[in-house]
Structure 1
Amino acid sequence: MLVDSHCHLDFPGLSERLPEVLARARAAGVTRMLTISTRVRQAAVYRGLAEAHPEILFTVGTHPHQAAEEPDVPAAEIAALSRHPRCVGIGEAGLDYHYDKAPRDVQARVFRTHIAAARETGLPLVIHARDADDDMAAILTEEMARGRFRAVLHCFSSGRRLAEIGVELGLYVSFSGILTFRRSEELRAIAASLPRDRLLVETDAPYLAPEPHRGKPNEPAYVARTAAVLAGTLGMTPDDLARLTTANFFALFDKALRAQPAGADAAHADAAHAGCAHPEAPIA
């Protein structure tokens, strides 16, 4: 059992062929997919996907690229939308200084609003960070001192220090297909240095397809390839890595345990929940 902890199933390249995408995910052992919000105003789209497909969960939030489109959505509105039973997280929100599609001060303000929503709801925040390590570390440290919240640094490609600060603050770190790229030796070294109970895997589909699919549209089935590379990096078997990252997912996104379909899948969720208290137990 694998979980794709971050994908965009509403995006072109996936949405128009969703039945086959979901079928391939199931065939690859991916039984849960978290489709991530980029605009609060499109919450109905994410909600509709999750209501139509039992393997899909969703978040609500504003991506930093869209921060200027939604600069003033209050934390209370985000929190209200997150009450849907299949909404298990806040975001993605954060800082992106690579593209700078929104003014940096607006990105920071919107990011802090999402932190407030995560703090209010108790749901984990999905954090986007690109080329903004120093400001991201500063905001996370400052905001955590104001009141604890849970979060994951998604699609991690930043420097070692941000990963270390994130772990010190209690955050999880998620790795995408970038981990599989030939020149990602330093990223694999960072992954190997982190506590195993803080690791997640994702696709960020339809972007960042792992090797050997690089350059093609990404999809949730390909998270198995990223998981296999992470397993090799950690000296684990793919099955052990799948159990570990699944347990970690349900430990962080614990609301997902209350959003399971009946039957065999629920049994898998129960097994994952049993591992959450002691994430290393399944691989001892």
Structure 2
Amino acid sequence: MFTDSHCHLDFPELQAQYDETLARMRQAGVLRALCIGTTLERFGEVHRLAMTAPAEGPELWATVGVHPDNEGVAEPTVDALIELASRPRVVGIGETGLDYYRLGGRTLADMAWQRERFRVHIRAARQLDLPLVIHTRSAADDTLAILREEGGWGSSAGDGIPVARGVFHCFTETREVARAALDMGFYISFSGILTFKNAADLREVARYVPLQRCLIETDSPYLAPVPHRGKTNTPAWVPFVAAALAELHRVPVQAVAEATTANFERLFDRIHARA
């Protein structure tokens, strides 16, 4: 069984072919997927998909969060995230993090709103002891720094609140960033980018990350893997990511499927409640 740890089934490209998408997932052996929240306005639809998944599968779960790149949307509060994340089949907080890729003439100082939004997500995740789904692009140093400040390690760990945990999704950073994330107990998730011809450096990072700390994802409808690059991505294609990871670690694809599914279950442990 394969698990797609990060997809956007509520986005128009996939919602328009929802039944076909689920059928293709079943055919490909992708029997579980995590539907990621990116705005509070869309959370109701993300949650509905998780709650109404067909009995024949695949199993769908949800997260709640506001993507760092989204502007002009409702800002999350700790209380709002806690309330929404307490609903059935919600197993994580995010997508959250930092994205400085499109500054649009702004300075890093101008992105204080994004850093504060990230802190709000971390605080909610710690209150509920739920994993974070972290997006970081052109902002790794600040992402790691804020996690260290807010995460509950060190002297602040005695506050009785669980430390931050989670996954760096769609990882494209360096080995050094991967090492820092691993040292804090985070998982690393790889997407179809791993199959791209120009991703040799990323493949070296993927070879470095222990399989016991890896997840796989599509980030669909984006980033379709080779040989489907350029098409609308689908969770049914997460086995291509697994195959790339298997080649790098010199293990059978089934071993990657089993390891990454077990890792997903360990990290998103609320799924065991079957709520």
Decide: shared fold, TM above 0.5: yes
Match of 1:27 in 2: 27
What pairs up with 1:58-77 in 2 under 5 angstroms?
Answer: 58-71=62-75, 73-77=76-80
Match of 1:159 in 2: 174
Match of 2:87 in 1: 84
Question: How far off its partner does 1:196 sit?
Answer: 2.0
Structure 2: how far apart are the matches of 1:184 and 1:69? 33
Answer whether contact 1:67 1:106 (CA < 8 A) is retained. Answer: no
Match of 1:94 in 2: 97
CA displacement, residues 223-242 of structure 1 (integer Å, 9 cap, x when unaligned): 01011110111111001110
CA displacement, residues 88-132 of structure 1 (integer Å, 9 cap, x when unaligned): 100001111112379521111000000001100111010000111
Match of 1:263 in 2: none
Q: Does 1:106 align with 2:121?
A: no
Structure 1: how far apart are the matches of 2:103 and 2:189? 23
Query: Which secondary structure does the structure 2 equivalent of 1:13 belong to?
Result: helix
Answer whether contact 2:7 2:235 (CA < 8 A) is retained. Answer: yes
What pairs up with 1:85-234 in 2 under 5 angstroms?
Answer: 85-100=88-103, 103-144=110-151, 145=153, 146-147=156-157, 148-234=163-249
Answer whether contact 1:30 1:220 (CA < 8 A) is retained. Answer: yes
Q: Percent identity?
A: 46
Structure 2: how far apart are the matches of 1:193 and 1:84? 37
**Amino acid corresponding to residue 107 of structure 1 in structure 2:** Q
Question: How far off its partner does 1:247 sit?
Answer: 0.2
Structure 1: how far apart are the matches of 2:238 and 2:103? 28
Answer whether contact 1:173 1:199 (CA < 8 A) is retained. Answer: yes
What pairs up with 1:260-279 in 2 under 5 angstroms?
Answer: none
Structure 1: how far apart are the matches of 2:274 and 2:67? 24
Corresponding pairs, count: 259
Question: How far off its partner does 1:137 sit?
Answer: 1.7
Check 1:68–1:119 CA distance in 2 against 1; reply closer, same or farther (3 A cut).
Answer: farther
Q: In structure 1, list runs of 5 or more residues that go unmatched.
A: 261-284
Structure 2: how far apart are the matches of 1:230 and 1:58? 25
CA displacement, residues 237-268 of structure 1 (integer Å, 9 cap, x when unaligned): 001110000000000001112227xxxxxxxx
Structure 1 stretches of at least 4 aligned residues deviating more than 4 Å after TM superposition: none
Query: Which secondary structure does the structure 2 equivalent of 1:84 belong to?
Result: coil
Check 1:68–1:113 CA distance in 2 against 1; reply closer, same or farther (3 A cut).
Answer: farther
TM-score by length of 2: 0.91
Query: Which secondary structure does the structure 1 equivalent of 2:231 belong to?
Result: coil
Question: How far off its partner does 1:42 sit?
Answer: 2.2
Structure 2: how far apart are the matches of 1:244 and 1:38? 27
Answer whether contact 2:66 2:94 (CA < 8 A) is retained. Answer: yes
Query: Which secondary structure does the structure 1 equivalent of 2:49 belong to?
Result: helix
The RMSD of aligned alpha carbons is: 1.5
Question: How far off its partner does 1:70 sit?
Answer: 2.8
Structure 1: how far apart are the matches of 2:30 and 2:193? 19
Structure 1: how far apart are the matches of 2:26 and 2:48? 20
Answer whether contact 1:68 1:106 (CA < 8 A) is retained. Answer: no
Answer whether contact 2:41 2:73 (CA < 8 A) is retained. Answer: no
